[in-house]
Structure formats: structure tokens, C-alpha cells
Amino acid sequence: MGELNINTKRLTRLSVIAALLLGFGMTSAVHVQAADSTAASSAAPVAQLPQPVVTSPTRTPQAILGTDSRVRIPGTTGWPYRTIVFIRAYFPKLARGLYVQGTGTLIAADTVVTAAHVIYDARYGGYASRVEAVPAYSRGTSPYGTARASRLFTAPGYTAHPSSSTDVGAFKLSSPIGKKTGWMSLGRGAAVGQRLTLSGYSADKNGALATMAGPVAKVSGSVGLYGMDSAAGASGSPVYDSSNHIRIVHSFGSASYNGGAIMTPERSNMIMGWRNSWTQLQSMHRLVYVTANNSLNYRNTVFAVSGKNRTNTVYQVRKSYLGWNGATYYTVYNARGQYLGYSNVGNFRSVTTTNVTRYMTVRSRTAARYSNLYLSGTKGTTAAYNNRRVYVTTRNVNGTRNRAYYSIYTKKGGSWLGYVSTAAVR
């Protein structure tokens, strides 16, 4: 399996005139267009200029088979069309300002499935250096905005030996744009005669989403063939059933049929593995306390429960991740450094520390002097220090209802006595 992490550093983009630098030709899969000078979230193809395309060495042209029966979808924010994304893929060796156009489908808040050749092309330097996904795009409008890819995936063997049966890819997004749109599910298999729908962004439709329904004509191994029309730019389109389950990922065509890779159990499991690989957001060493009693910890990214949290328990969190459902999760550790699992960041608040730096008086004989803010070990009690002045350096809130502990010393620059409840010091 191929995988690439993307550095999403912004690239300089040229005007649409740069498109004319490429030769004109026919493509089976990818359509190259020039980006305009606006921001990525609003960039749109310029339909009135002739758009260059590149010829894929491993594909025959996607075809209009007889009369063009595709129907334009004007309301792309309807279901399931808002889950289908317009793809711009920028490649290292493609002239600056140009991008490869493709289609994909959100299958999670942060995961898009597409054809592998949309995001990988050896002629242009291999994996795309930047990929943008625009859900529900329609002739220049981006109702849900644009998200960038952070990791790219291709099926095993595709980069070495591209073929119709391995022409499946996916990418993770750096933001969970699918929380706004929802996402489609993967189906299993496709049968001759089964009626399916192909919806995609063919370049000849000038940025419009077009759709057509029809039966599966043939099944050849793990590849499905059908008569639904398509053109360059539609590669990666979902071919889905009446329940909006993706049965085929569209990728190629011929004089007789268009086709793509069927969602076999093995292929579906591969894609779900990509989906379930969460994206790391931050590394940290931060103390937090639980605010949501009985909230859950998960041992893995498919939400197998490993335990529950109790209010006011203090943990250390070391990393944050974007989950495929669009939520953010911490990796949680207890006072002994034992890993407890992933838990939603909404279950916690950070322990906060403010400076005090003044002398105060102990007013309790029985208050515990804790050795850490987990409150998991003690240095004794305040019995020997009752009614004595101590030097307080910080106030640390580590629980709900403003539960807080002072860090106290025998004197300024003296020996540390521990963390003591603020109720015991005045």
C-alpha cells in the first residue's frame, strides 16, 4: 500500500493563461486546468478558455456512449450530492498554476475516496504535492468551503504497475469538512444488471456536477463495466446504489464501456483501514482533569471501549488526533504513565496555573500535602505547619467547581512542602 504525508505549505499560483503552456489532447482520467489568482476556497475553472488535458499511458478515454444522457445537478447541496467533491491535484512536475481535476467522495468527516491516478502520476513526479477537495462544488461556488489533504493513499501495487484493478486511492483531510456535509458508506460488490448511479465532475460540464443511472453491464474479475457516460475529470466518481452505498470507484473507459474498481470485501477493508487511520494534530505534555463523568476511553480508532473516566481525575495528555468522525481526541495517560486510550477532548479541561508569589498562613492541621497534581502521592500533612507562614508560588486549578491547590515552600527559596488545598491556606 502506498502512503504519503503532505506538507501543505501554500504554493504560488499563476493566472489561467498558464494553461496554454501545455499541449491539447485527450485523457482517460485526468483533466488539467489552470488555477486562477483567487484563494483556494474560491478558485474555479475558466470555462471559456480551451483547457489542456494530458494523456494517461495506462487508460483509454472515458466515453460518451451514444447519446449523452448525463443530467446536470443544480442543487449540489442536496443529499447525496454534497458528499461528492471536486478535486484539484497539484503535482511536483506539473507547470506551476496548473492542476489535475478529478472527483471523489467523502466516506468520513476527514476521508475522501477517489481513483489512484487522480492523486498519483509518475509523469508529474509521483504523488500530488497538494490536493484540495471542494464538496458540492458548482461552477465556481463552494458552499462548504475547501479542505486540503494531509495524507494520500493508493492501493498496493498501483504505483509500480498501474492497472484498472488497483486504481483506487484515498486521502485524509486536515479539517473535518465532512461534518458539514455527511458522508457516503461503502457497499460490497456489484452484480450484472444492478442499477447504479454515477455522479461526477466531468470537465466538459465546466464545473457542474452531472449524473446518470444505468445497469452494470459486465463484471470482469474485480472490475465493473457499465454504460453510464463520463468524460475527463470524472475519475474517482462514486458509482452507487439506491441506498447511496458506493459499489464502484469510477476510473476508466473504452469505446464500449466505462468502468472502475468494485468494492470487494478486500478492497472495502483496505479503504476502511485508510479511513480509520486518524490524523495527528499536536504533540504535548499537558495535565487535564475530567469534567464529564463516565465518559469513555477507547483502545483503538474504531472505538472499542477501554474504560470510563471519573469526574476530577487528573490525567496527562500527550497527543491530539482528528478522528474520522470529525471529533478530536487526546491520548490519555494516568499518574504512573500508563496509557489508557483515546478520549474526546470535550471530556476534559486543562489544569491551569497562575502565579501567587507571596507569604500566606496555613490554617489546617490535617490537610494533605500532595507530591503531584494528580493527587496520587503525599508528603504528609500540614500538622507541623499549622499557623505558620509559608511561601506560595502558584495556584493550580485541577478540578471542577474551582478545585485548586497551592504550591507551598517553607520560605522563599526554601524547601518545597507540596501541593495543599487552597482551603487550608489563607
What are 233's three cell numbers? 475529470
Distance of alpha carbon 207 from alpha carbon 224, whole angstroms: 26
| 348 residue type, one letter | F
16 and 140 belong to one structural domain = yes
Of 317, 350, 383, the domain-final residue: 350
Encode pLDDT of 397-406 as tens digits.
999 999 999 9
117 and 203 belong to one structural domain = yes
21 and 115 belong to one structural domain = yes
Domain hosting residue 416, numbered range: 352-424
394 and 416 belong to one structural domain = yes
Q: What is the bridge-based pairing of β-strands 389-399 and 352-361?
A: antiparallel
Of 315, 350, 385, the domain-final residue: 350
Spatial contact of 362 and 388, defined as CB atoms under 8 Å apart: yes
362 and 402 belong to one structural domain = yes
Instruction: Give 233's DSSP letter.
Output: T
273 and 283 belong to one structural domain = no
Q: What is the CATH number of the domain that holds 80?
A: 2.40.10.10
Q: What is the CATH number of the domain that holds 415?
A: 2.30.30.170
Distances (CA, A) of 84 to 120, 215, 238: 20, 21, 8
315 and 399 belong to one structural domain = no
Longest Cα–Cα distance in the chain: 95
Supply the pLDDT for residue 46. Answer: 26
Q: If you write DSSP's letter for every residue of 369-397 in order, what string do you get?
A: EESSTT---EEEESGGGTT-EEEEEEEEE
94 and 186 belong to one structural domain = yes
Lowest model confidence (mean pLDDT) among 69-73, 80-84, 151-155, 351-355 = 69-73
242 and 330 belong to one structural domain = no
Nearest to 231 by CA among 218, 214, 250: 250
300 and 196 belong to one structural domain = no
Cell 504533540 belongs to which residue?
283
Q: What is the pTM of this model?
A: 0.83
- Residue 164: HSE in the Cβ half-sphere, 13 Å Cα cutoff: 22
Of 350, 365, 396, the domain-final residue: 350
Encode pLDDT of 263-301 as tens digits.
999 999 999 999 999 999 999 999 999 999 999 999 999
Q: At 59, is the pLDDT very low, low, confident or very high (cuts 50, 70, 90)? A: very low
Instruction: Give 66's DSSP letter.
Output: S
Distances (CA, A) of 332 to 278, 295, 312, 339, 342: 15, 13, 14, 6, 6
Residue 187 has pLDDT above 80, yes or no: yes
Distance of alpha carbon 183 from alpha carbon 205, whole angstroms: 24
* Beta bridge partners of residue 394, listed in sequence order: 355, 407
What total of structural domains would you count in the chain? Answer: 3
Distance of alpha carbon 135 from alpha carbon 81, whole angstroms: 8
229 and 151 belong to one structural domain = yes
27 and 2 belong to one structural domain = yes
